[in-house]
A and B are shown apart, each in its own frame.
Chain A
Amino acid sequence: MSTPSIIKRSLGYRLAPGWSLVSLLLLVFAAVAVNSLFGKSNQIAMQYALVDLIIVVALQMFIGTSGVLSFGHVAFVAVGAWTVGLLTIDPTLKHSLLPNLFPFLYDIGSPWILAVFIGGIVGGVLALVVSPALMRLNGLQAGIATFALLGLVNQVLTYWSSIGPESGQSMVGIPDVLNVWMTMLFAMGAIVVAWLFQRTRPARLLRAAREDGTASAASGINVVTQRIITFTASGVIAGVAGGLFALTNRVVQASQLSIDLTFVTLAMLVLGGMLSLSGAVVGTLVFALVDLILVKLQAGMTIAAHTLQIPQGTRPIVLGLILVLMLIFRSKGITGGREFVWPFRKNQLPGVPVSND
């Protein structure tokens, strides 16, 4: 569909790509700002939601671009969280909590912000190491292999007491340095990085391969290499999210960073729309909002002299139902896989970032 060049030269049209980024940042800011009016417990919930947002953005970066499923990103979140735990827990506390660590692990430590970025790098390194093997796979096989990766990392972190606590125990004592606004900045940073990444060559090549694998292979694109690059980049972002999780939760346990978190983040992405960055952001925020309402309803909400209450345990059921219903009736998600362009443009194709070409 060709756009007449006179429209292409108009200011509104040319602003659209930037707007597709700014609109998301504004949305996040608005969500945090409005939420901050409602009290402390909401702030904490929002902080968790922002961490989830970063994970979902990392997921979208890979799944949305390559079209390949990954059940394994939470593995990178987990190693990121582990890294921050090891780097920020007070040394004396480390000795008593984690008695069997490799000796050098007792001595290392760093300011929390550096720890977060190191966590990202560790996540990226893990992704880089496994990707030559995993990135050759497609479809169901990719899902299973990445799932095996998740299981493997989870088992290692749970039981290998030389790098963490004794079997199944937690790392506690992570300092309380993060607040919701700082987390928001990280989330915005992740969105910017993802937005920029969409416009790099590996991403463009992968999208082409996603549309037509045979043609791309014929034109000499090495899909596996591009996937490795993208997987690694998204592994870094996931690692950062893990570090932030550690700082938000203040306690890290392997069982929290496994299948359930994988499901929740995948659900958020499906809800928003897998094919677009906007989908990642929208999905997480909508999910968090619905979750918040459900928490209130479970505790009992009073509206105009009537108290509404839903039974305990309904919350995860409703969330699970939302995912399943979305997959049945609108598998493309709320955004349909499209980025935000209104009001600067109308018809946007799904799965394609906004550009001026």
Chain B
Amino acid sequence: MSQFIQSLVDALSAGAVLGLAALAIGLVFGVIRLANFATGEIITGAGYALVLTWDLGWYVAIPLSILVAVILSLLMELAVFSRMRKAGPATLLIASFGVSFLLQRVYELIFGNNVRSAPVASNLSQSVEVAGIRLQLLSVTAIVLSAILLVLLQLFLTRTTLGLQLQAAAADFTTARLVGIPASRVIGLSFVLSGVLAAAVAFVLTTQSGAVGPTFGVRITVLALVGAVIGGIDKISGALAGGFLVGFASSMLETWLPQGVGNFRDAFVYVLVIVVLLLKPSGLLVRGRGAVRT
């Protein structure tokens, strides 16, 4: 029983982190129809920042990693995506693929192929006892961190004018512009928020592994991307839910798959993705068959 609760908490934590990553992707997609595969490289960049400056103190490393993530995110938009406004979502996906590949190689060039390590937030890598059950402190932290970020984001989106503008642009970009909402402002905003979320993801992942390499953010981004799409990338809540689902399922599979089959957990996730897309292409959270807005 206690093992079940442990695995449940771990799964919730994995779902929370993947949900944040999927949300980072979904926020940008909502506004400009770009499923940004290079979000992984934003995560990697933030990870490098954490690992390389951790000895300066967490109060330096953490803000710096957020800054790096936001700058990377905005740079991508400025250098590449802003010039591709007329392209369709599939072309944009390929372009983001290209940016991702490019940045991975740049990281290789700058930092080398081997990982860089640092004991980031090492006091979180221990277990605590809660109600007689041993839980990973990091898992609990990840859940709490995600919850806080989600609440803050929700408040921002619903209580501030800027947040409302972003919601409106994500819902109906053309009408939003006709009403006078500045396109460049909301697009930039979505990239900034995306960067902040990516930095949070990087924090959890770096604490988990203690080491960052050029392909650090790739795996989680692949899962976050497929999760966002099966949740219904059209809506911000859809991306979040889909990412959570994939993270949760993946973690549960990891714990509970029998020996020998355990290696295939990612394979199971991929099968799940194909099945969902077959049955409900517009995503799980979208009502009805829905017009697939791509």
Contact = CB atoms under 8 A, between A and B. Distances in A.
A156 B225 CA distance: 21
Contacts of A142: 90
A145 B84 CA distance: 24
Contacts of A228: none
Contacts of A143: 90, 93
B35 to A, nearest CB: 6
B164 interface: no
B106 A317 contact: yes
B36 to A, nearest CB: 12
Interface string A177-191: 000000000000000
Given A139-B88, A141-B292, A151 B97 contact: no
Contacts of B144: none
A331 B229 contact: no
A141 B225 CA distance: 11
A32 interface: no
The prevalent SS among residues of A at the interface is: helix
A57 interface: no
Interface residues of B, number: 40
B101 A148 contact: no
Interface string B75-90: 0000010011001111
B225 A263 contact: no
A133 B271 CA distance: 12
Nearest to B263: A159
Interface in B78-129: 80, 83-84, 87-91, 93-95, 97-99, 101-102, 105-106, 108-109
B233 interface: yes
A138 interface: yes
A266 B90 CA distance: 12
Nearest to A159: B263
A141 B87 CA distance: 16
Contacts of A139: 88-90, 292, 294
B62 to A, nearest CB: 30
A144 B225 contact: yes
A249 interface: no
A140 B294 contact: yes
A260 B215 CA distance: 12
Contacts of B218: 259
Interface stretch (A201-209, A219-227, A322-330): A322-330
Interface stretch (B16-24, B43-51, B168-176, B273-281): B273-281
A156 B278 contact: no
Interface in B269-291: 270-271, 273-274, 277-278, 281
Given A145-B278, A259-B218, 4 more contacts: A134-B278, A139-B294, A321-B102, A323-B98
21 contacts: A133-B274, A134-B274, A134-B278, A138-B292, A138-B294, A139-B89, A140-B294, A141-B281, A144-B226, A144-B273, A145-B274, A149-B274, A151-B222, A151-B267, A156-B264, A167-B263, A260-B101, A317-B105, A321-B102, A323-B101, A331-B87
